[in-house]
Structure 1
């Protein structure tokens, strides 16, 4: 029975997606059909299997998870989310060094949800993605970490400071010292803003390139397994990804010292 239930969930995309949908609440066959691709008869065939396995039940025109179905799906949904994250961009993840992510957040990496991999061409290698620049222009809050010096960072964050956008900026010590010494005007604007906070992370062994969370976006950049920063970045607009990113940022912020 154990193997049969696993097969029931994982060997059909329609069954899996039906179960995920019913976790949000009861649905009619028409509502299930609207969220899936396929004919009514094809979907009904999969619904019948779920009924026979005791994972769902029918009450009048609606289908709902049984108690057993809900218990199983609460355990399986995080695995499905994790598999979706890795399967969609397997080549990328196979080359990433994830040692910078604490265990409790690796367990939740499925929260990244639907994401895109940004890989700049040579003409834009040192520029942030346009998605991040657009988001920074409109955000009211931002949390950012850099372990490398981003040439546009001083101007971007001094502009946020002048607009009194609330943000926390965590930098490694070498990055902060370059900002302070070579970009005095921008640094002073950040220091004078009542809503900006700058922190120095003294752990220079961190193998995370960058992390930014705004009101509508989460961006993260890992080093590859050879220890090289190749400018590839992960971007997600999902709320769960932003919450995941905030928790990661807080992890680094708590291990940093405040400059102001």
Structure 2
């Protein structure tokens, strides 16, 4: 029976997605169809199997998860989300060193949702993605961490400071010292802002390359397994991804010393 239930869920995309849809609440066959791809007859064939396995039940023209179906899906949904994230960009994830992410957050990596891998061309290698720059212009808050020096960081965050946008910026000690010594005007603007906070991260903690969380996106960049930064960045727009990013940022913040 255990193998039968597993195959019922995983061996059909339509069955799997129907169950995920019904986790949001009861739905008619037309509503299920709207969230999937396929004909009504094809979806009905899979719904019939789910009914036979006792994972869903029908009440009038609506279908809903049974108690057993809900118990199973609460356990399986995080796995499905994780597989979706990792399989979509398998080569990228295989090449990255994820050791800087605490285990409890690695367990939640399915929360990234829809992932976009940004790979700049040689003419824009040291520039942040346009999605991030656009987001920073309109965000009301930001949480950012850099373990390398980003040339546009002084300008971007001094502008946020002048607009009194609320943000926390965590830097490694060498990165902060370069900001302070080589970009004095921008550094002073950031220091004078009432709503900006700057931190220096503990040298002993493992670090990702970069992390930014704004009101509408999360960006994260990892080093590869050889310790090299290849400028590829993960960008996610789901609310769950932003929550994940804030939790990782808090991990770094707790291991940092506030400068102002």
Check whether TM > 0.5: yes
Corresponding residue for 1:88?
88
Corresponding residue for 1:74?
74
Q: 1:4 Cα deviation (Å)?
A: 0.3
Contact 2:57 2:65 in 1 (8 A): yes
Contact 1:26 1:64 in 2 (8 A): yes
Q: Distance in 1 between matches of 2:123 and 2:47?
A: 52
Corresponding residue for 2:18?
18
User: Is the aligned partner of 1:185 residue 2:185?
Assistant: yes
Corresponding residue for 1:132?
132
The number of residues matched between the two structures is 260
Q: 1:206 Cα deviation (Å)?
A: 2.5
Q: Distance in 2 between matches of 1:210 and 1:204?
A: 17
Q: Distance in 1 between matches of 2:82 and 2:117?
A: 16
Q: 1:142 Cα deviation (Å)?
A: 0.2
Q: Distance in 1 between matches of 2:49 and 2:147?
A: 51
Q: Distance in 1 between matches of 2:158 and 2:204?
A: 24
Residue 134 of structure 1 aligns to a residue whose secondary structure is: helix
String of CA shifts for 1:95-143, please: whole Å, max 9, x gaps: 0000000011011000001010000010000000000000000000000
Q: CA RMSD in A?
A: 0.7
Contact 1:22 1:65 in 2 (8 A): yes
Q: Structure 1's 125 and 204: CA in aligned 2 closer, same or farther, altered over 3 A?
A: farther
Q: 1:207 Cα deviation (Å)?
A: 3.7
Residue 208 of structure 1 aligns to a residue whose secondary structure is: coil
TM-score, normalised by the number of residues in structure 1: 0.99
User: Is the aligned partner of 1:224 residue 2:227?
Assistant: no
Contact 1:97 1:207 in 2 (8 A): no
- Alignment gaps of 5+ in structure 1: none
Q: Distance in 2 between matches of 1:100 and 1:144?
A: 16
Contact 1:120 1:232 in 2 (8 A): yes
TM-score, normalised by the number of residues in structure 2: 0.99
Q: Distance in 2 between matches of 1:78 and 1:57?
A: 23
- Alignment gaps of 5+ in structure 2: none
